[in-house]
Amino acid sequence: MDSFTKQTTWRPWKAFLLEGIVVGLLFTAGGYMQARWGMTGLVLTELMFLALAIAVACLHRTPLKEVFPIKVPKPRECIGIFILAPAGLMCSMIAIGAALVLFPGAMDEVEGLSSFLYSKQSLLSIVLIAAILPAVCEEAIQRGAILSHLRSMKKDGTIILIMGVFFGIFHLSVARFLSTALLGALLTWLVVKKNNLTLSMLLHFLNNLISVTIGFFAGKGAEVGAGAAQTVSSLRILGSYCILGCLMPVLLVWGTGLIEPRYKGKKRWLIAIGCSVGLLLAGILLV
């Protein structure tokens, strides 16, 4: 991963400190604003993270273009992102299904989040608040300010793992920890390999856009479905998600191969196909 001109001031331990500050702010100031002002509070929370990210860069006296490397992506990279977006959604579905098996009570949390986002809101406002703002503000603080402290680390895999866990913790959700951690790892991989925050912002936006659009048009049916799901075996729910997301490994290999050509190869394709078949069979058995 590319280092800064002043990398010595960006120490890895400070990434853990900053993540702790971010989570603390989300739990206190963010929680207060969202409880008091609803969706307006959510907007203010996102803007708070953006301001914090810029402030951290300024305190380190590092050029913003280094902390937030915004570049025009190549056409093949854009295609790769559009392929990874549905793959990320499938991965999230399977991860949430697994969370429901491990923590059956997590369904109440999912229902509460849906009610908060989709009650009395237009699609345009939901897209702005739940797709555009997080893609910019959360990427600025997570893959911008926090990740910058880890640039001196030699092993990319360790950086990706740490940032994945950070992103899972950041969402303060038992039900969504695994899904957001996996998404965070994928977003971090993009920045680590390409040093381009535009790619992670675009994927983050598309992932949230797909989710909120489905949730919006499902409307009250989504809440009914969530309630009905409580009467269905969580293993059967997981099985259904495995079937729906069985193409996820293939899409991951395809998308990452377009973004980073070094990730091409017959072996990766064979492994992906094998995993897809495994997910399909597991889903059939569970259902």
The confidence score (pLDDT) of residue 222 equals: 44
The confidence score (pLDDT) of residue 254 equals: 96
Task: State the CB neighbour count (10 A cutoff) for residue 227.
Answer: 12
Tokens of 284: 């059939």
The confidence score (pLDDT) of residue 118 equals: 63
137: left (phi over 0), alpha (psi -120 to 50) or beta: alpha
pTM for this predicted structure: 0.91
Neighbouring residues of 109: CB distance < 8 A, sequence distance ≥ 6: 173, 174, 175, 176
The confidence score (pLDDT) of residue 225 equals: 47
The confidence score (pLDDT) of residue 23 equals: 97
The confidence score (pLDDT) of residue 76 equals: 96
φ, ψ dihedrals at 245, nearest 5°: -105, 20
The confidence score (pLDDT) of residue 115 equals: 62
The confidence score (pLDDT) of residue 114 equals: 64
The confidence score (pLDDT) of residue 28 equals: 96
- Give dist(CA 227, CA 236) in Å, integer: 15
By the 10 Å C-beta count (0-12 exposed, 13-18 middle, 19+ buried), 165 is classed as middle
Can you say whether the dihedral through the CA atoms of 171, 176, 181, 182 is positive or negative? negative
The confidence score (pLDDT) of residue 223 equals: 46
The confidence score (pLDDT) of residue 174 equals: 85
Residue spans per domain, the chain: 7-286
The residue ranges of the chain whose pLDDT is under 70 are 1-7, 106-120, 219-232
The confidence score (pLDDT) of residue 221 equals: 46
